[in-house]
Chain A
Amino acid sequence: MVIGVGNEYRRDDGFGPTVVARLTELGLGDPESGVTVRATDGEPTRLIDLWTGADLAVVVDAVRDGHDHGGHRYELVLGELTDLPDERSSSSHGISLGSTVELGQALGRLPHRLVVLAVGGHEFGFGAGLTPEVAAAVEPVVARVRDLVG
């Protein structure tokens, strides 16, 4: 299960959906690929519903990492996620990815393996299109997703 989180009308928050669109172009998500690919807005119960029961869930998201420009890449696994600061991308909900993982844990609704591929975003205002540094991270993250799902 590959889940791209974000909103393509919030500049760099469109990173997750952009990666998902690229993976779909490359055939990941086709029935014969054995992989499900979804874009979502990060609302916690939707994430939990999507990853429940998956052997491996790869979540792709843009985050605010405090750097003065975007494009830094991060790879986090389950144990590292609940220590995330209580904020994330600019999506319209009040529960962070870290808290969503904790909620999934409390409900026994986590995938067997969870990997988050995040990129630091720079611009989360209204508008379409990624900033150049974040756009440059799309192909490397696409490649890493394909490595992970085999």
Chain B
Amino acid sequence: MTHRSDRILDVRALARVEGEGAMHVRVRGDSVEDVRLDIYEPPRFFEAFLRGRRYTEPPDITARICGICPVAYQMSACAAIEDACGVPVDGPIADLRRLLYCGEWIESHTLHIYLLHAPDFLGYPSALELAKDRRGIVERGLALKKAGNEIMELIGGRAIHPINVRLGGFYRAPVKEDLAALGRTLRVALDQALDTVQWVAGFDFPDFHHDHELLALVAPGTYAIERGDVATTGGPTFPPRQFEDHVIEEQVPHSTALHARLAGRGRYLVGPAARYTLNRQWLSPLARQAADAAGLGDECRNPYRSILVRAVEVVYAVDEALRLIEEYEPPDRPALEVPPRAGVGFGATEAPRGALFHRYGVDADGLITSARIVPPTSQNQASIEDDLRRFVGARLDLDDKRLTAQCEQAIRNYDPCISCSTHFLDLTVDRE
């Protein structure tokens, strides 16, 4: 190929990323001068939108931020407002929340694995070509994802923006018989999930290693999903209430998303690889066996292998859902009363893409005085840019088209959720 020292690459759409955004790369000679990932963040709109609303509304309103992970927003919102009002929720209601969240993990991860990410590893431009060529594989993915949908519909009332969730719990709790059919579906899904791990383990993973600090919730005794303290690989563990003491968010000129960093330390990553690295010991025996058989070690620091972690987490989520169904006893009441109280509350849960923090101020009349939402993708932004800088630097000999395609694949490793105000990811590489 012709090697040019300076170039500009402009790509008008990054397909198969949950949302939209822009990436800009500047190359001078043989070095990468600048990499910027622009993310347009809906939570900022919602933070303003929520002020002055009733304290009961954030779970329903924030569920609209992302069609792929509404439960994450609902659960973090409920946790934060219940914290502000001094009403801890545990027991069977907390178990039902965890079951609902398992449904979302199954749905979100399976969508990403089969329709968005696997085509990269198998050399297909999209899931459509994969489906034409290997219909059975995609059908397995759709069936597995549907098991997640069924949990969402039964516990949440519907698969998108679940309507059965409320402060303190649910409007209606299922009876045991409701869950029996779901159990049958999930037993089939467990085989599909194990097959998925085996399938993904056979992919060819490019060699790439990062040493970012990792951040995830931890809840000793269980793989953290709907609750936990905040742990990092390089610092202290702290409760969600102290999140703002440890994580600094800064506005950067090129993005409406804020960049997050750990106070005194710097960039970090959240998401499946961080969760796995900090929680591996709490996987169910079956999920841990699947991880071992797939060759995942004690930690995951190659972003390409995040697809393997997602597949293992699907096994865990199905397995955990089956356990929760097996042990389910309906709560005495579907929801606890959560009377308003003036205060500030913090909530953190593990969205499929990583830790999601909410903080709300509530006044004595039950009106929201302040709202803060810190989504996983914006926490990852600085680390993604750093990885892309190294990634592009090692591939400057590629022509623009191939470099663009490989950058897109690299971005998809992080499963960014970048719902935003434009419909495209513009990838621009300037070679000067």
Contact = CB atoms under 8 A, between A and B. Distances in A.
Contacts of B18: 92-94
B246 to A, nearest CB: 29
Interface stretch (B228-236, B339-347, B415-423): B415-423
A49 B139 CA distance: 11
B421 A106 contact: no
B135 A106 contact: yes
B294 interface: no
B99 interface: no
A107 B139 CA distance: 7
A45 B160 contact: no
B417 A45 contact: no
Contact of B146 (A8, A40, A49, A90): A49
Contact of B115 (A42, A44, A64, A102): A44
Nearest to B131: A106
B256 to A, nearest CB: 11
A103 interface: yes
Contacts of A132: none
B42 A103 contact: no
B160 A39 contact: yes
B87 interface: no
Contact of A41 (B61, B67, B116, B135): B67
Given A41-B160, A92-B19, A95-B115, A103 B67 contact: no
A18 interface: no
Given A49-B146, A49-B149, A87-B423, A93 B127 contact: no
Contacts of A124: 421, 423
Given A94-B16, A103-B128, A46 B149 contact: yes
Given A49-B149, A64-B423, A107 B142 contact: yes
Contacts of A27: none
Contacts of B68: 43, 92-93
Interface in B98-119: 111, 115-116
Interface in B262-288: none
Given A124-B423, A126-B45, A126-B421, 19 more contacts: A7-B67, A43-B111, A46-B160, A49-B146, A86-B15, A87-B13, A92-B19, A92-B67, A92-B68, A92-B419, A93-B19, A94-B19, A95-B15, A95-B115, A103-B127, A106-B128, A106-B131, A106-B135, A127-B45
16 contacts: A7-B67, A8-B64, A39-B160, A86-B15, A87-B13, A92-B67, A92-B68, A94-B17, A95-B16, A95-B126, A99-B126, A99-B128, A103-B138, A107-B138, A124-B421, A125-B421
Interface of B: 13-19, 42, 45-46, 49, 61, 64, 66-68, 111, 115-116, 126-128, 131-132, 135, 138-139, 142, 145-146, 149, 159-160, 417, 419, 421, 423-424
Q: Which 10 residue pairs spanning A and B have beta carbons closest together?
A: A41-B67, A126-B45, A92-B419, A106-B131, A94-B16, A9-B64, A106-B132, A92-B19, A94-B15, A125-B421
Interface of A: 7-9, 39-46, 48-49, 64, 86-87, 90-95, 99, 102-103, 106-108, 124-127
